[in-house]
Structures are given as structure tokens and as C-alpha cells.
Amino acid sequence: MKGSKIQTAIATWTDSKGTKSAPLDHSESVILVAAINYTADFTVGTRRVRKSTRVSDKAVAQRIANKWEEDERLALEGVRDDADENFALYRRMPLKDHIDAFIDFRSTGGGDPDHRERTRKHIEEFAKAGNWATVRDIHVDHVTRHAQSLKKSGSASRTIQARLQSIKSFTKWLYEHDRIKRNPLSSVKKPNPEQDRKHERRMMLPDEWRWVESTILQGRIERNSMTAEERLLLYRTAIQTGLRATELAELTRGNLKLDVLAPYITCKAAGTKNKKAAQQFLDTELARDLEEHTARKHPSAPVFGIGSKRELSRTLQADLVDARLAWVQSLSNEEKLAAQESDFLIKTNHRGEHLVFHSLRHSCGAWLAMSGESIKVVQTVMRHSTPVLTLNTYGHLFPGQCESAPRSLAAMMRGDKTPAELSRTSHVSATEPRRSFESP
């Protein structure tokens, strides 16, 4: 209307984040400036591309448009495929989505669900420490810095190694599945737990075992939801088979093959540490006791009613305390004074070695070596990947190897035995008497 005055109460505009509006202040002059986002518009072949650069700076928008046009031409000529677009998509994807996909991928190979959950927590721990939101944020410095902080806080090398294994397997998977163009953690080295073991384990001595066995039977104390008889059966099985705590906890009656000439226990590959099926043989006495113990159990029922797998070491420690007390009480007054300095039936000896539940597995390999079984037998029972690992762990316990070597060489020099005969006699079974290479 002519002569009328119109005031705008609301200003509305559109920017890269959408349409916005705001009231105008009429107390003073107001200038509304529109920020323009430039749009790239070009044609490659028969395809027209038109999309916002999301920037209002003309020079920057021009560089973005040039890059897009170059990428489109390379794709048209077959020089570039859709992989770059996939990389771009993965770079923008939240890190949590990558972690979920990685854990799902690991589950297709079976394995332990608890192990996958620990792997997820390890990855998320590094992500939190480095403030990672996408795969673009993953940086080797963040990983090494967090590993150093774990070491300074007192974490053992084995603990740090487990976490580095998880994050390195994650970035390796990202690289191998074309989610990132390079593996940022390929140069990260895991610490050697053997060089810095926080808890060095020791074996249980055969004499210690006899005291533990007799004390458990006499005390009849229930621990960790297990009766004395069941607990003793668990310890016997651990020492004779070398099975780990998790493997023992997951044993069912269906894993026991006791009605055969050579009874044995089976462990499925998914439940073993090396992901290989295990078949551990038993002596007839232990097989008979296990059969009696599980006679009324369902095939899918656990063999051992372990209350808490995490409490197994504390359970064994309590049994060690009872056994040591019984041993000390059996000594004379003079012997009791000397016993105070003894490591016998002590959890941690003077060398700082610990007797924990896993020590029962260690005792299995040590006792086999001490009894004269071959390295190959010990390797098979302990399920070591190589005989080198067996030798590194138990080599010092194999009796008389170095001492008997000169006699073997002298016998060959004298012609008492041919190399073939020596080879045959060196493979005598454990049930046969050992032969001497010395002349009568």
C-alpha cells in the first residue's frame, strides 16, 4: 500500500546446515548478509554432477570442484574404481561400527565369546585413551603412549601384550578388508612376557602333592562350591592332562571317553587356547574315579561343579595352607624351626615363583620330563606348537641327557654300537629298562 511502512519481524535464510530463522532487532540498523555455499556443476561423459561444496569461499570451492571433476574423469577412463568412494565412506563411519563389524567377523570363526568380549574392551580402551571417533583418528603415538602408561601403572608385560594383540589385530583387519589404505600399527612391537613376567610360576613338587592330597581327604572341607573329593579329582585331572582352568571348567560328561582301552578326555577346538581339538589320555584309576563321579550327570552337564573359575587359585592356596600346617605339625620341635625357612608348600618361594592353579599344568609337563618321557611326548601332552617351546620350558628337567652323551660318543668310537643301533636304542619306550652303552 502506498505510503505504508512494512517491518520484517523474522529473517529467514538457508545455509549449509539447513533453513534458519531469527527475529530482527529494530532498535538500530540491521544488515542481513547471506552466506552463499558454492555449488559444483560439471559434466563428465554423459553424466552431469551437481552438488554443494558446503563452503562459501570461492577459491576453496573451486579446488573442491576440480578434485571432484578429476576423480570422475579417472573413474570414467577406468583409472580409478569405486574403492576410493568406499574408503571415503569408511573414513566417515563411526569407529564403533567398525569395531562391531570386526567382532562379528571374528565370531564367524567360532572361538570363545568371552575372548571376543575382552578383545572389544581392549580396542575400546585404546579408542578412549586416544579419543578416536573414526578410523582417521587411529595413530601409533596414541597406542604407544597408552601402552607406556599401562607399564608405568604396574601392568605386567603379558597384560600389555594382550591389549596390543587386540588393537593390532583390529587395524590389520581394517587394512586387509580395504577399510583403511595402510595399517598404522604395523610397526608396533608387542613386549616379550618372558622377559618381564610379573608372576613366574613354579611346579608343585611330588612330595608337596602327597601332602595336599592327604590333607584334603582328611579335612573334608568344601571350597569354591566343591566337596573335598571333587576338588581333589579336579587337581588330579589338571596335573595328569595339563588342561587349563577354562578347559577344565567347560568339560562336560560328553567329553569323557572312559569305556575304552586307553581312556581319554576330548576338548573341542573352540574351547582350547590354540584352537585345536585336544585328546588327553588318562590312567585307568583316574578314569574309574571320573566315571563314578559323573555316573548320574547328563552328557551336557559340567564334569566339575566349579563355583568360580577366577577363585581356583585362591582355592588351591587355601588347600596349600592346610597342607603346610599339617606338614609342620608332623615335624619334631627342632625340625619345625628349620621348616620356617622352607619353601615347602608355600605359595611364593624365595625366588618369587608362585604356585597358582595354572601351576598344575606346569607340573604336568615338569613331572613328565622328570619321569624320563621324551621331549616329543611332553610336547604332545602339553600341546606346544614346537619342541623348542617344550625345551625352553622343561629342558633343564630332562634327566641325564648331557651326562650320558660322552658315553654314547665313546661307544660309537669304539665300534660297540653302530649309528643305526644307537638310534634304535635311543628310542626305547618308557616301559622298557634303559640300556647302557658301556662295555661289560
Asked whether residue 116 falls in the same domain as residue 34, the answer is: no
Residue ending a domain, choose from 38, 54, 81:
81
Angle ∠(160,164,167) on CA atoms, nearest 5? 145
Domain-located, residue 98: yes
Asked whether residue 310 falls in the same domain as residue 229, the answer is: yes
Domain-located, residue 430: yes
CATH number at residue 209: 1.10.443.10
Asked whether residue 96 falls in the same domain as residue 120, the answer is: yes
Other CB atoms within 10 A of residue 97 CB: 12
Domain-located, residue 341: no
Domain-located, residue 45: yes
CATH number at residue 160: 1.10.150.130
Domain-located, residue 158: yes
Asked whether residue 122 falls in the same domain as residue 219, the answer is: no
Residue 392 near residue 369, CB atoms below 8 Å: no
Ramachandran category for residue 11: left, alpha or beta (phi over 0 → left; psi -120 to 50 → alpha)? beta
Domain-located, residue 196: no
Domain-located, residue 73: yes
Asked whether residue 69 falls in the same domain as residue 159, the answer is: no
409 is in which domain, residue-wise?
Answer: 400-440
Residue 184 near residue 171, CB atoms below 8 Å: yes
Asked whether residue 145 falls in the same domain as residue 218, the answer is: no
Asked whether residue 388 falls in the same domain as residue 416, the answer is: no
Please give the Cα distance from 67 to 51 (Å, whole number): 13
Asked whether residue 71 falls in the same domain as residue 122, the answer is: no
Asked whether residue 250 falls in the same domain as residue 312, the answer is: yes
Total domains in the fold of the chain: 4
Asked whether residue 70 falls in the same domain as residue 209, the answer is: no
Asked whether residue 366 falls in the same domain as residue 266, the answer is: yes
Residue 135 near residue 178, CB atoms below 8 Å: no
Asked whether residue 225 falls in the same domain as residue 265, the answer is: yes
Please give the Cα distance from 353 to 359 (Å, whole number): 10
| Tally of residues, the chain | 440
* pTM, to two decimals: 0.58
Domain-located, residue 351: no
- pLDDT tens, residue order, the chain (440 aa): 455 555 556 666 565 566 666 665 555 444 445 557 788 887 877 778 888 888 888 888 888 888 888 877 776 666 555 556 677 788 888 999 999 999 999 888 766 787 889 999 999 999 999 999 999 899 999 999 999 999 888 887 878 888 999 999 999 999 998 888 889 998 888 766 555 555 688 899 999 999 999 999 999 999 999 999 999 999 999 999 999 999 999 999 999 999 889 999 988 765 566 667 778 999 999 999 999 999 999 999 999 999 999 899 999 999 999 999 999 999 998 898 888 889 999 999 888 889 999 999 999 999 998 888 888 988 889 888 888 888 888 877 776 555 566 766 677 677 765 544 544 444 433 333 333 333 33
